[in-house]
Structure 1
Amino acid sequence: MGERLESKTALVTGSTSNIGQAIAEAFAAEGAHVVVSGRSAERGARVVEGIRAAGGLADFVPADLDGSARASRDLAERARAILGRPIDILVNNAGIFPGDVTAATDEETFDRVYAVNVKAPFFLTASIAADMVRNGGGSIINLGSWVARLGVPVGALYASTKGAVETLTRAWAAEFGPSGVRVNAVSPGVIVPRGEDGGDPHPGEIMMKGTPAGGIGTPDAVAHAAVWLASDEAAFVHGTVVDVDGGRMGAAVIAA
């Protein structure tokens, strides 16, 4: 167990699997009391059980962040209640990815993706950042994506929502930073969930050809960056997007 987030409280949305789970586990390993949140009570219980077994503090709060202000405010209130004190760290991780071409995307899908990926974190941040300001500070970490800045021919809808999230990151840094609340983002590259990195090559491998890393990443790589952004080590970091993408956005090499 570490101490970089000792005595801090954290809410991580969408943390019953994949990147969100890795962030919740990493925060708890550094001393934070973590609220694990998601739609599946069964998966949430497993994550909490694992954290507690490793000596960490965690509780599960079910939530279906459908984009309504009510759902976001309700999660904030229940998380504060189970923690017994204000939230120090918020990670806006929950999101959905229907990867289709533009012409095949209907209006219902469009509205649902923007509701979950943009509206939900917007209203959750509105609720929790206000508490952070009253409490003297805090850290908000948003999950962006490399596709927000490098166009690919499928998934324009999802990419546009992550572009919105990165824009909100900078705007919120300007809005809340003077009151002691740091707002930053992590932009993952191609990440493969745990347990899916064996056997046949992953389809995402092709997207990482020509990068310095030369291959796909793991949820833990994103979690390490989130821990740093949440900690006092990043006290002078505001409004930035940390690319954890194997160099996809910043460098190119000759692919073998």
Structure 2
Amino acid sequence: MATTLSGRTGLVTGGIGRATAAALAARGATVVIAGRDAERGAQAVRQIEQAGGTAFFVAADLGDERSARALAVRAAELAGPVDILVNSAGVFPFGPTEKTDEETFEQVYALNVKVPYFLVAELAPGMAARGHGAIVNVTTMVAEIGMAGMGLYGSSKAAMVLLTKSWAAEFGPSGVRVNAVSPGPTRTEGTAAMGSSLGELAATAPAGRAAGPEEIAAAIAFLAGDEASFVHGAVVPVDGGRTAV
């Protein structure tokens, strides 16, 4: 097992979190995985432990400041001060603007923007006080390109693009690097409901296929590690070349 992240603790929320947690643990980090599904969480922990890593699962229904701060506190209780935060959890309903109700709007911005904001608010000051840390936000290619029916999701992730840059300016001088990964179409349990449309969307990019979650996780792990020590405020596209066309 690689040890480039040995002695560090990472907190990973949902989304591509399972593959990300495995990637961080494979590099020696102790990982806290947060999610709603306890069975899936237990499976992720077993997978990491069987590979020789250390992981914990915290059942968390994230949606507001209280839940975000409580998760951050619990992660530190289980594994020690958090050195790496990966904001991967997200919800992505697609559809026409005129058919979006207020409840859906609030849910998207609560999980995609509010929760990461208050996780950073809770954890980044401690990282800064210790003089080191890495935060990686997971955005999306539709945060930067207009696509019909994806305005709500894309706009919430566009907010995270700006927050990534703002937090880099705010916490970078104290040794905390803040960056983002912008995935293209990726095959996960969450995107399975998209069916063939995911592959059709992916086919428009040079790679001509959807990504596997481990391909996104590899970029996240790079940004979390010392190999990216001079990378601050970057939004790294991992989208099969969609930014090239």
Q: TM-score range by the shorter chain?
A: over 0.9
Per the alignment, residue 72 of structure 2 pairs with 76
**What SS class does the counterpart of residue 91 from structure 1 fall into?**
strand
Q: Say yes or no: does 1:217 pair with 2:214.
A: no
Distance 1:208 1:69 in 2: 35
% identical aligned pairs: 52
Is 1:39 the counterpart of 2:48 in the alignment? Answer: no
Per-residue deviation, 1:188: 0.4
Q: Counterpart of 2:52?
A: 55
Alpha-carbon distance in 2 for matches of 1:107, 1:136: 41
Partners of 2:16 and 2:89 within 8 A in 1: no
Match of 1:95 in 2: 90
In the alignment, which residue of structure 1 is the partner of 2:4? 4
Q: 1:217 to 1:81 in 2, by over 3 A?
A: same
Q: Does 1:127 align with 2:122?
A: yes
Contact 1:86 1:135 in 2 (8 A): no
Name stretches of at least 5 consecutive residues in structure 1 with no aligned partner: none
**Equivalent residue number for residue 166 of structure 1:** 161
Aligned pairs, number: 243
Deviation by residue 1:225-252 (Cα, 9 ceiling, x = unmatched)? 0111011000000000010000001x13
Tell me the CA shift for residue 211 of structure 1: 2.0
The one-letter code of the counterpart of 1:214 is G
* Matches of 2:204 and 2:20, distance apart in 1: 28
- 1:140 is aligned to 135
**CA distance in 2 between partners of 1:64 and 1:146 (Å):** 26
Structure having the larger proportion of residues in helix:
2
Q: In the TM superposition, what whole-angstrom CA distance separates every residue of 1:29-86 from its partner, at most 9, and x where no partner exists?
A: 11000001101111111110111011111011111111x2111110010000001x21
**Residues 227-242 of structure 1: pairs in structure 2 closer than 5 A:** 227-242=221-236
TM-score by length of 1: 0.91
Moved more, 147-156 or 182-191: 147-156
**TM score, norm. by length of structure 2:** 0.95
SS in 2 for 1:3: coil
Distance 2:43 2:203 in 1: 35
Give the RMSD, CA atoms, in angstroms.
Answer: 1.6
**Aligned partners of 1:130, 1:71: CA distance in 2, in Å?**
18
Deviation at 1:204, TM superposition (A): 1.5
Moved more, 207-216 or 183-192: 207-216
**Counterpart residue type for residue 211 of structure 1:** A
Stretches of structure 2 that go unaligned for 5 or more consecutive residues are none
Query: Is the Cα–Cα contact under 8 Å of residues 10 and 32 in structure 1 kept in the other structure?
Result: yes
Distance in 1 (CA, whole Å) between partners of 2:71 and 2:204 is: 42
- Give the AA of the match of 2:38: A
The superposition leaves residues 186-229 of structure 1 with CA deviations (integer Å, 9 ceiling, x where unpaired) of 000000127x99xxx83212212342211111101101101110
The alpha carbon displacement at 1:164 in A equals 0.3
Q: Distance in 1 between matches of 2:92 and 2:19?
A: 19
CA distance in 1, matches of 2:54, 2:238: 27
User: Aligned equivalents of 1:87 and 1:124: distance in 2?
Assistant: 11
Shift of 1:8: 1.0
| 3-state SS of 2:111 partner | helix
Cα distance in 2 for residues equivalent to 1:74 and 1:222 = 27
Separation in 1, partners of 2:76, 2:107: 27
- Which amino acid is the alignment partner of residue 126 of structure 1? A
